[in-house]
Chains A and B, each alone.
Chain A
Amino acid sequence: MIRIHHVTHIYKKESTKQEVKALDDVSLDILEGEHIAVLGHNGCGKSTLAKHLNALLLPTAGTVEVDAVDTANEADLWTIRQMVGMVFQNPDNQLVATTVEEDVAFGPENMGMEPALIRQRVDEALALVGMSQFKDKGPHLLSGGQKQRVAIAGIIAMRPKYIVFDEPTAMLDPTGRKEVMETMQRLNREEGITVVNITHFMEEAVLADRVVVMEHGRIVLSGTPKEVFTQVDLLKKMQLDVPPVTELAALLHKEDKHIAADIMTIEEMVRELCP
């Protein structure tokens, strides 16, 4: 379990000596095997929160504990980073090596594993994301979605318990987005890896077990997708989009109380209206 306990994070701007409170007394428990989506528009603190989960940033106040290990504990830094993998937004800027398999091997190599074991982990990880046939290719020859899958394989090869996705689909086309989301869900369901997806796409948040909405460095809403997305007015006030079907359901619900307001997908809507 990752326990975020009353975390505040303050950035100091070098130029103006101004202090910016990116996180303001945030508490959140991330359970094992969970799929959490963290929603919010730009500058709400969601990326800052993500970087606290693997000690890329340390809290100004409060604590973050990964399986009861405090991230501020420098001696455990590499254990924490191995346990909590992170996939970043720009697929280009996280691949290090000149071939796909060398890149996937980068993490295990840093952990000092035996060459034979690295080989095995790399092959497994590439198979898991469906990129085995590209193992000798250069990263620049791949599409955005494929690069992001390689980046995910690079994390999986380190056998993490948790993977934090920091807006992994923001720079991808619809095909790439689908590839990454499918991989993410498969890892969660089949491999039991806890997934934290930082995103601003509602369609992605709907797939999670739990949705956390952030604004001004605070958690303002938290619950199952149905619980969160039925708060249409509140979400609109925060300038967040609601999935169109849900918005329609909410409008219909206002007119006719027989129609449920917690509808997330088009299929559900069809079933609701034409039983």
Chain B
Amino acid sequence: MLKDITIGQYLPGESFLHKLDPRTKIIAVIIYMISLFIVNNFWGLGAMLVLSLAVVLISRIPLKFFFRGIKAIVFIILLTVVLQMFMTPGEPLWEFGFLKITKEGVRQAVFMGTRLVLLVSVTSILTLTTTPISLTDGIETLLKPFQKIGVPAHELAMMMTIALRFIPTLIEETDKIMKAQSARGADFESGNLLERAKAMIPLLVPLFLNAIKRADELALAMEARCYHGGDGRTRMKALQYESRDAIAGAFCLCMAAGAFLTRLL
């Protein structure tokens, strides 16, 4: 059962978005988020909605993946909507005791709700169309300029890569230890929460000890293969911008400019 866990939520595909450089996608998502919060009227919001739908269609990812993402945070969305509705002061539409819904409140609620749904959908396009490895590469290259002010770009990327590499190994190991302990009478399934947490100890102790031993050996193996940090290190697959990245970039700038213009309406 543990083997079914997938890392990240990458969905292989051949769409325009799949082929984009990860750096372009990360920056595009940031510009999108800013634009989403720049727009302050229904024209702007409507335009963003249409745009987002277009992007979803381009990604050719089945809609159920987006619903799944939204379902995960449906509680937060509802809470935001309700709070906005009741807490915003203004012209009352409906009153009951101390509760009142204002016209401004409804407007705010619709805005925030739509923004959150769009935000979740579009950011999940990033993780759905990009492999964890290229996402890591993208983050590393984007953070590189900040290395001078002490951002450990290479180290962060290395840690992410090693984590990704060892997740399946550790899952396999957990499975093995669980079976071994069960064979000796350990019970992971029954009892209340506290008892079950206690039952995890014979699982976690060997798992952690092994993980530390692995880390030790891996460090040795990396050193033996001339690893000495990010300085002077090259990459086999250097990220390369293509013409499609320019198209996507131009599109993002138009979106940001458009978002500004809708404020003037």
- A and B are interacting partners: yes
A residues whose Cβ falls under 8 Å from a Cβ of B: 54, 56, 78, 81-82, 85-86, 88, 90, 92-99, 101-102, 105-115, 118-119, 122, 138-140, 154-155, 158
Q: A81-B224, A90-B217, A93-B213 are in contact. List 13 more A-B contacts (CB 8 A).
A: A56-B220, A81-B223, A82-B226, A85-B224, A88-B220, A88-B221, A94-B221, A96-B225, A98-B164, A99-B133, A102-B237, A109-B235, A158-B226
- A138 and B224 form a contact (CB under 8 A): no
Bound form: Cα–Cα A102–B236 in Å? 8
Judge whether B249 is part of the interface by a CB distance below 8 angstroms: no
- Bits for B68-100, please: 1 = Cβ < 8 Å to A, else 0: 000000000000000000000000000000000
The DSSP consensus for interface residues of chain B is helix
17 pairs of residues in contact across A and B, judged by CB atoms under 8 Å: A56-B223, A81-B226, A85-B225, A88-B220, A88-B224, A92-B169, A92-B214, A93-B213, A93-B217, A94-B221, A96-B225, A102-B237, A109-B233, A110-B227, A112-B234, A115-B235, A158-B226
- A98 and B165 form a contact (CB under 8 A): yes
Q: Knowing A102-B133, A110-B225, say if A115 contacts B237 (CB, 8 Å).
A: yes
- B238 and A155 form a contact (CB under 8 A): no
- A138 and B168 form a contact (CB under 8 A): yes
- Nearest neighbor of A107 in chain B, beta-carbon distance: B225
- Looking at the assembled complex, report how far the CB atom of A171 sits from the nearest CB atom of chain B, in whole angstroms: 12
B residues whose Cβ falls under 8 Å from a Cβ of A: 132-133, 161-162, 164-165, 168-169, 172, 213-214, 217-218, 220-228, 232-238
Query: Which residues of chain B come closer than 8 Å to A82, judged between CB atoms?
Result: 226
Bound form: Cα–Cα A99–B133 in Å? 9
Query: Which residues of chain A come closer than 8 Å to B237, judged between CB atoms?
Result: 102, 115
- A118 and B165 form a contact (CB under 8 A): no
Query: Which residues of chain B come closer than 8 Å to A78, judged between CB atoms?
Result: 226, 228
Interface centre among A95, A119, A140, A158 (most CB of B within 10 A): A140
- A86 and B133 form a contact (CB under 8 A): no
- A98 and B132 form a contact (CB under 8 A): yes
Bound form: Cα–Cα A247–B246 in Å? 74
- Nearest neighbor of B229 in chain A, beta-carbon distance: A110
Selected contact of B234 from candidates A92, A93, A102, A113, CB within 8 Å: A113
Bound form: Cα–Cα A85–B226 in Å? 10
The 3 A-B residue pairs with the shortest CB-CB distance, nearest first, are A94-B221, A140-B168, A93-B217
Query: Which residues of chain B come closer than 8 Å to A140, judged between CB atoms?
Result: 168-169, 172
Query: Which residues of chain B come closer than 8 Å to A88, judged between CB atoms?
Result: 217, 220-221, 224
Selected contact of A108 from candidates B165, B222, B236, CB within 8 Å: B236
Query: Which residues of chain A come closer than 8 Å to B222, judged between CB atoms?
Result: 96, 106
Query: Which residues of chain A come closer than 8 Å to B238, judged between CB atoms?
Result: 115
- Looking at the assembled complex, report how far the CB atom of A151 sits from the nearest CB atom of chain B, in whole angstroms: 8
Bound form: Cα–Cα A118–B162 in Å? 21
- A93 and B218 form a contact (CB under 8 A): yes
- Looking at the assembled complex, report how far the CB atom of B61 sits from the nearest CB atom of chain A, in whole angstroms: 22
Bound form: Cα–Cα A114–B236 in Å? 8
Interface centre among B220, B234, B236 (most CB of A within 10 A): B236
- B232 and A94 form a contact (CB under 8 A): no
- Looking at the assembled complex, report how far the CB atom of B211 sits from the nearest CB atom of chain A, in whole angstroms: 10
- Nearest neighbor of A81 in chain B, beta-carbon distance: B226
Query: Which residues of chain B come closer than 8 Å to A118, judged between CB atoms?
Result: 234, 236
- A105 and B236 form a contact (CB under 8 A): yes
Bound form: Cα–Cα A130–B217 in Å? 26
